Structure 1
Amino acid sequence: MTRFSPRTAPLRRAGGLAATALLLAAGPLTVAAAAPARAADPVFTLGGPAETALHPYAEGGGAPKRSTAGITVTNPADEGYEGEFTLTFDLTGVAGVADVAFDPGPGVECETKGTRSAVCTGDTLAPGLSTVTGLLLGAAKGSEQGAAGTIRVTGEARSATSTPLAAPFTPFTPFTTRVTVGGPDLVMRKLPFDHEPTPGQKQQAPITFANRGSRDADGVVLTLRYSRGLDIPQRYSNCAYTTDETWTTARCSVEGAFEAGATYTLAAPLTLEATTRAYRDLFVYGIQEAGAVPRAASAARSERGSGAVLRAVPLTKAPAARGVDLEPGDNEQEAEFRTANTADFMAYGDEASGAAGATVTARLGFHNDGPAWIGRIRSGGSVAAVDFTVPQGATVTSAPKGCRGVTAEGAYREDRKTPAPRYLCPAPTAVRDGGGLDLSFGLRIDKALIGAAGRVTVRGPGLQEAGLPFDPKPGNNTARVVLNGQSGGGPSPSPAPPAEGGPGAGSGRTPSAAPGTSGTGAPGTTGRGGGSLASTGSPAAMTASVTAIAALTTGLALFAAARRRRKA
């Protein structure tokens, strides 16, 4: 029997505490995880236009003009929903106001039940926003100008987690849309621009629009949106301006009653200028009735102009009731410009040194020395790509997000897990003048070779698009990444990367580094090109090891002391 006495109790308690500390230092305790909770059914949300205007009923027997209102469902899940769903349309609110027909989407069937209701059914809902059916709306016979009503839409889907004791269907968030007979119909006239200007060329833009609807418009909002290579020098006091990397947007509120059947133009035409940075640009101009334009998220960051008031003539003084546009599709026009200009994309590389086993960081990319900005704002495709060939004797441990490993010849590579000998990194859709693309690669030096060099090339975005048609100096499209270059005349990157904070620094889109496997080995030195060696070893692991050893030593000492006292 082991004796327990007050004299030995503190020592036993100390030994127990030391053993506990040893266990905690050796590794974390694990607790069995509870069974995962069953995922709840997604909450589907119905939507569509808040209001739709209808052409008045044609009394002469002509074919009625119909307006379309798309009814949408938002599925918040990342995957599509497979299961029966039903949408019910309450049409009692538009009886005598509108005739309703349906244009269902793929896999959806709709059936009208008299003039009071309709039902649409389906069995699949894609993730995100999708249109389930279009409502084909026409003014009912005998309806009057200004007549209005509402259509209420409800829905339900069979629950994927239903049980005999639970409700078999999950309801949708309902939606109501308003229908009105008559309204203004603002139509923007297309302007005859010179679509191939030269840098610095200015053109007059006499914005002209008409109201072809059945009602007057009470005030209008003129929206002007132009890409980075264009400018409108006038800054009107009744316009709110916002500017981002690619676009400048002006929303101008013009007061007055704009009569049905009348045409209006600006009191003074706008001036549209192709700036020195113009290349491929867009100018979008549109007109809507005041109150029909939703408040943009960027409105809080907008700035008012300080110039004259933008006016449209002729203006009438008669009061007008505000309505909804009959044909929203003709409210806007756009003009595309192809300016004869160039942009010099300059590649840059890096230089670093280290012993075999060391890990260094290579910074590389390109800088747009202008004068033009380059953007594919219509297609949304990348404007260029950085092609990086890894130096001999090195292995990539981390690559920027979005960079794709290819074979040494530049061909497709199915293996996405192991390091590649070559990488293609797409540039963004638009690269500003003074911007560019800055990338960082982690490189492990497997074999220390003097002057091992990798190639950095800025090129077209596709494997078959080697050149840059806008670049007048293809000779500086290539640079090098050099490892362990000899001092005093050894190889160095050409041209040198831009200094931190200088042109191109932080002005391009810099993808974040993807996780890689850090190499360990002998320490190295930082290259003058900006490469830096990764630290080897883990401070947290070393601290845990020291703590465990100290706890073990303390526990053994206390245990030995307790045995000596017990024998005494």
Structure 2
Amino acid sequence: MIPLAAVRRTVSALALAALAGAALVSPAHAQEEPLPVSVTGPDRVNLSLQPEPGEPGEPGEPQIELGLRAPGEPVPDEDGITWPIHTGEYTVTVDASSLAGVAAVDFSRLGGWRGCSVDGLVATCSRDEIYAGRDYNDLGGIRLDATDESAAGDFGTIEITAAGEGLAFTGHTVDVLVGGPELLMKRLTEPEGFRAGDTFRAPLGFRNAGGLGGDGVVLRIFGSRGLSFPSAFGNCWYDPRDPDDVFGRSTALCVFDGEFAGGTAYGLSAPFPIETAGFALHDVMSYGFSAVPAEQARELLAEGDYRAGDGPELELVRVPDADPADYTRYAETDFPTTNTFDLDLTGERLRARKGSTVSVDIGFTNHGPAWLALLRSGGEPIGFWVDLPPGTTATTVPESCRPGWEGAEGDYLCFIDTPILEDASRTFTFGLRVDEVIKNATGRAFFAYTMPNEGNPANDSGTIVLNPTGEH
């Protein structure tokens, strides 16, 4: 067992590294003999005493992924082949002996398809190639699990060393702490009757499900295009969304001093306001608390592009008798859910002689007020169908359209990329050859079904009429 202060420093450094978002990498050395190679992997693992969700008996994912980093970056030759910069046998030794009685160690995914020889809590892996950079030098993963003997505050290390002729290895150490601070977030739901343009006053909070407390917390909040953070709390920093990036998100980070205890819940001294735009629909908001010393967090934020708030400060307030069922590992919600968009398809009425080719424009417009983002599906396109007027053949087809198939809804299926902004419009132009003149030859463009949140299904189709009667 190590002193509580040292445990807190270990966990805080782990969370601070996650807050930074990327590890610092030393510049590559000029190639020399022996070849300098470093072992890569996480510096620390906070091993939860809480069982992970999943199928009983199913192994969890490795918390530790190991690899090697060599000078330079991999560059394929003219044939597209990437060659190693070193060939020759070397060994990697992973020594987890100090985790005896602390955690169970699973080496089964270490070494990839080659595997590694295992003797108790020591694994030895033999390899014979090293590539430039990191991408092609994976060593595999290690899974750790708490056991009946594990207790909060138990601590150990995993030492990774390597050796081989013509190679100068820099080893790596992974610190493992059991039952450190484990912050679960309060679940959020859209308020009843909430509408686009309203402000969601989010009751954010966390419960420390770990066995140990900590000193200092950072709150990070994200919001997609239709969400913004209007307040400027004095202990928060803000990074607004790039207005030209429809997939961009606004970010706010708030730093809190003071200790928090294990097994205890905390909430903000005031709800965090999140404004919604008039076009907002199923926008995504997520948040998370991390155990990070406040002083270190402020230093990190001062180096970035965040704008410091100048209003009153938020505080953390202990929440007595909190229900553990109200907290989750990942907290996010989509709102508002009741806004509507109006997708409109229009066709044309044209006269054409037999054998002639005419251009037919199919118009698409979103009259709003909402955008159609489909953020959860990663911007998956939506599609509409086109039936050609009888007696015609398509000679040119828009790039985003393709022929239908046997039993399909129409002759052509056309795709519209999402997000579709609240005022989006687009034209799809078909070239049609008139093989036979038919009065009132009618085709159409149409959606095969009414989408959720469609506010005006009546204009979800448009007609294409060739040689209409009654026109002069």
TM-score range, shorter chain: 0.5 to 0.7
Specify which of 341, 345, 349 is matched with residue 343 of structure 1: 341
The secondary structure found in structure 1 opposite 2:249 is strand
Matches within 5 A, 1:132-531: 133-138=141-146, 149-152=157-160, 176=172, 178-181=174-177, 183-191=180-188, 193-194=190-191, 197-213=194-210, 217-236=214-233, 238-243=236-241, 244-246=245-247, 248-261=249-262, 263-273=265-275, 275-290=277-292, 304=307, 308=311, 310-313=313-316, 330-337=328-335, 339-349=337-347, 363-380=361-378, 382=380, 384-391=382-389, 392-401=391-400, 403-407=401-405, 410=408, 422-436=411-425, 438=426, 440-441=428-429, 443=431, 445=433, 447=435, 455-459=443-447, 465-480=448-463, 489=471
CA pair 101-363 structure 1, distance change in 2 beyond 3 A: farther
Distance 1:138 1:376, change over 3 A: same
- 1:43-71: CA deviations, max 9, x gaps? xx997645312369xxxxxxxxx995153
Matches within 5 A, 1:46-65: 49-54=42-47
- Which one-letter code corresponds to 2:450 in the other structure? G
Alpha-carbon spacing, 1:451–1:72, altered in 2? closer, same or farther (3 Å): farther
Separation in 2 of the partners of 1:311 and 1:374?
A: 34
Query: Which of 1 and 2 has greater Rg?
Result: 1
In 1, Cα distance between the equivalents of 2:441 and 2:39? 58
Q: Does 1:90 align with 2:98?
A: no
Mapped contact 2:361–2:429 kept (Cα < 8 A): yes
Cα 1:489–1:376 change in 2 (3 A) is same
Q: Work out the CA distance in 1 between the residues paired with 2:432 and 2:333.
A: 51
Q: TM-score, normalised by structure 2?
A: 0.59
Residues 353-407 of structure 1 deviation map (CA, whole Å, 9 limit, x = unaligned): 9998887765534211111223333345747422223454342434324x33104
Residues 241 and 305, structure 1, Cα contact 8 Å, conserved in 2 = no
Contact 1:139 1:181 in 2 (8 A): no
Aligned pairs (5 A) from 1:513-552: none
Post-superposition CA distance 1:132-183 (Å, at most 9, x none): 5442255998999595634438899xxxxxxxxxxxxxx9x99956223254
Which whole-Å CA distance do the structure 2 matches of 1:114 and 1:468 have between them?
58
How far apart are residue 113 of structure 1 and its match?
A: 1.9
One-letter amino acid of the structure 2 residue matched with residue 250 of structure 1: T
Q: Are 1:117 and 2:117 an aligned pair?
A: no
Give the structure 2 partner of residue 565 of structure 1.
none
Which amino acid counterpart does residue 177 of structure 2 have in structure 1? V
Deviation of the 1:96 alpha carbon: 5.3
Unmatched 5+ residue regions in structure 2? 1-37, 50-59, 69-73, 82-88, 128-134, 319-326
8 Å contact kept, 1:143–1:181: no
CA distance in 2, matches of 1:339, 1:191: 14
Kindly tell me: are residues 223 and 49 of structure 1, through their superposed partners in 2, closer, same or farther at Cα, counting changes over 3 Å?
same
CA contact (8 A) 1:348 1:366 kept: yes
String of CA shifts for 1:391-434, please: whole Å, max 9, x gaps: 54342434324x331048635xxxxxxxxx82212333432311
The alpha-carbon deviation at position 345 of structure 1 amounts to 0.7
Q: 1:153 to 1:71 in 2, by over 3 A?
A: farther
Aligned length: 377
The secondary structure found in structure 2 opposite 1:378 is helix
**Larger CA deviation: 194-203 vs 338-347:** 194-203
Paired residues of 1:370 and 1:433 also in contact (CA < 8 A): yes
CA spacing shift, 1:112–1:130, aligned 2, 3 Å: closer
Give the corresponding residue for 1:549.
none
Conserved? CA contact 1:203–1:272, under 8 Å: yes
Q: Show structure 1 runs of 5+ residues with no match.
A: 1-44, 57-65, 80-85, 122-126, 157-170, 316-328, 412-420, 460-464, 491-568
Asked if the contact 1:363/1:439 (under 8 Å) is kept, the reply is yes
SS of residue paired to 2:376: coil
Quick check: 1:186–1:288 contact (8 Å CA) kept in 2? yes
Does the aligned pair in 2 maintain the 1:216–1:259 contact within 8 Å?
A: yes
AA at the equivalent of 2:46:
A
8 Å Cα contact 1:265/1:314 also seen in 2: yes
Q: 3-state SS of the aligned residue for 1:475?
A: helix
CA apart distance, 1:231? 4.6
Cα distance in 2 between the residues matched to 1:87 and 1:398: 58
RMSD: 5.4
What amino acid is aligned across from residue 422 of structure 1 in structure 2? D
Tell me which of 83, 101, 108 is aligned to 2:105: 101
Task: Determine the C-alpha separation between the residues in 1 that align with 2:305 and 2:175.
Answer: 33
Q: Distance in 2 between matches of 1:474 and 1:394?
A: 29
The one-letter amino acid paired with 1:342 is T
